[in-house]
Amino acid sequence: MKSNYHTPVLLQQCIEGLDIKPGGRYVDLTFGGGGHSRAILEKLGPKGRLIVFDQDEDAWENRIDDKRVEFVRHNFRYLYHFAKYLDAIPVDGILADLGVSSHHFDSADRGFSFRYEGALDMRMNQNSGQTAADLLNTADERRLVHIFRTYGEISSAHKLVSEILKFRSEKPFTLTSELKELASKFAPRKDASRFMGQVFQALRIEVNGELDALREMLSSSVEVLKPGGRLVVMSYHSLEDRLVKNFLRSGDVEKSQVETDVYGHSNLPFDLLTRKVIVPTEAEIELNPRARSAKLRIGQRNNNDV
């Protein structure tokens, strides 16, 4: 297994949240280094089944040689399609750890981090789609402002984009250092690292269509899970967490309030099991600093048809 994948965050809480049955069917939507999958397999019996998703070619190198495991090398937005294709519907539990792995952040050639010099790529699947450099070099002003303001929550988005347009009029973006140097002009002195992280996060989300993929996955989980099945989702920033929280509370990623019919009845697909979000302890954060922003929410599929 590649050694630079992150230590699984909130591992025990995730496994407990899945409420694993020895003969059940489970889906790990974010295989990565395989830490969560291995913990699931320890709880599964010989007749249990685990389907794992990961679109990154590097994750294939960590695949588990176990007849109970089926590996899907695609984005988890296709959850329903592949669960149906593999004749796995309904499943007993779905796990999604939405965090970018340490492997990605620490691989300079992938371009995910401003801390390393490398190609401005940022694609999770390097065999498809445009790179972050392509995006910076071709997107119009309005789209770039939207990306940085919406996905990076950057108040100086207009000024940043103005500098980007000026830079690319002279030469195309190719390296992480070029974006870092340009964006550093707008970074607050006391919180420069956080600002740079937001700039790179915004591009990564757009390049990989992360929020749209999350919306599609959450929606399809309703059809894939059996009544009583668990949906366990760990997010790392407010944009993801808001969608997950809304979905588990209201059945709609865009709505925080529960809608009712004329009789006052709601028809929600999930019962929320985490009234209070689960976060790492200080002890876990000390051992694994990248766990700091993790938020875990768990829902249980009920019998409502939606």
pLDDT, mean of each 10-residue run, the chain (306 residues): 67 98 98 95 98 90 93 97 98 96 79 91 91 98 98 97 98 97 94 95 97 98 98 97 96 80 74 97 93 97 86
- Are the beta carbons of 270 and 301 closer than 8 angstroms? yes
Q: For the chain, which residues make up each domain, given as ranges? A: 11-102+210-301, 106-207
Comparing CA positions, the residue from 305, 303, 290 lying closest to residue 8 is: 290
Comparing CA positions, the residue from 56, 60, 57, 24 lying closest to residue 41 is: 24
Give 65: exposed, middle or buried? Use CB within 10 Å, 0-12, 13-18, 19+. exposed
Task: Give the CB-side neighbour count of residue 304, counting CA atoms within 13 A.
Answer: 14
Predicted pLDDT of residue 3: 47
- The CATH homologous superfamily to which domain 106-207 belongs is Putative methyltransferase TM0872, insert domain (1.10.150.170)
- The CATH homologous superfamily to which domain 11-102+210-301 belongs is Vaccinia Virus protein VP39 (3.40.50.150)
CA distances from 265 to 246, 248, 255, 268, 302 (A): 18, 17, 17, 9, 15
What's the alpha-carbon Rg for the chain, to the nearest Å? 20
pTM of the model: 0.93
